[in-house]
């Protein structure tokens, strides 16, 4: 992460401004959309190119923020980054901001892997159970991995919950080989 310390300072300042304005979740949603958009190689190269006219960069920035229906604070951040030629920091700022918001609101992110896509109701039920275990609100990102075979694997923070058929079969094989 190039400019990690600088990105963290921007993320912290943005967190305070958004919290003070009461738009913390709106800014988080804005950055969930804008961060990946500005992470693209072509977009990053365009904004890093000193030969690209500033007016074109401003127009592209305006189009992106309007398409995302971004809050005024998010728009101000992007304009500041453009003025300081630091638009390339936006993906890192977005990630760090998300982490800071999660920390402030008591949320934790996790990932659940299953052999087939899980229905939304199952994801919500699993998130509720994991929230009860961790004592924090869990937000799960689903992943599909056919090698799991059945069951699921959930990782929340540094804790791994493995209830996969693949692991159960491996344990059974190890027990049988020990005799």
- The per-residue pLDDT for range 63-72, each reduced to its tens digit, is 999 998 999 9
Q: Nearest CA to 10 among 91, 64, 103, 109?
A: 91
Q: Which neighbouring-strand residues pair with 139?
A: 109
Residue 1 has pLDDT above 50, yes or no: no
Interval 131-156 mean pLDDT: 91
Going by their DSSP bridges, the two strands 151-156 and 159-164 should be labelled as antiparallel
Give the tens place of pLDDT for each residue, 92-142: 999 999 999 999 988 999 999 999 999 999 999 999 999 999 889 999 999
N-to-C CA span, the chain: 49
Neighbour tally for 68: CB within 10 Å: 17
Q: Which of 70, 72, 5 is nearest to 38 (CA)?
A: 70
Q: What percent of the chain has pLDDT over 70?
A: 98
């Amino acid at each position: 992460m190039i400019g990690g310390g600088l990105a963290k300072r921007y993320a912290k300042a943005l967190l305070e401004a958004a919290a003070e304005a009461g738009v913390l979740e709106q800014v988080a949603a804005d950055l969930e959309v804008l961060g990946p958009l500005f992470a693209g190689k072509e977009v990053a190269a365009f904004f890093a190119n000193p030969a690209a006219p500033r007016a074109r960069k401003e127009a592209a920035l305006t189009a992106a923020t309007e398409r995302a229906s971004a809050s005024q604070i998010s728009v101000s951040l992007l304009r500041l980054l453009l003025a300081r030629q630091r638009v390339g920091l936006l993906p890192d700022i977005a990630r760090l901001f998300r982490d800071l918001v999660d920390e402030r609101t008591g949320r934790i992110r996790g990932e659940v892997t299953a052999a087939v896509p899980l229905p939304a109701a199952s994801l919500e039920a699993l998130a509720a159970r994991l929230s009860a275990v961790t004592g924090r609100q869990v937000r799960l990102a689903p992943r599909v991995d056919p090698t799991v075979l059945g069951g699921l694997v959930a990782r929340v923070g540094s804790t791994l919950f493995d209830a996969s058929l693949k692991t159960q079969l491996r344990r059974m094989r190890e027990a049988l080989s020990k005799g």
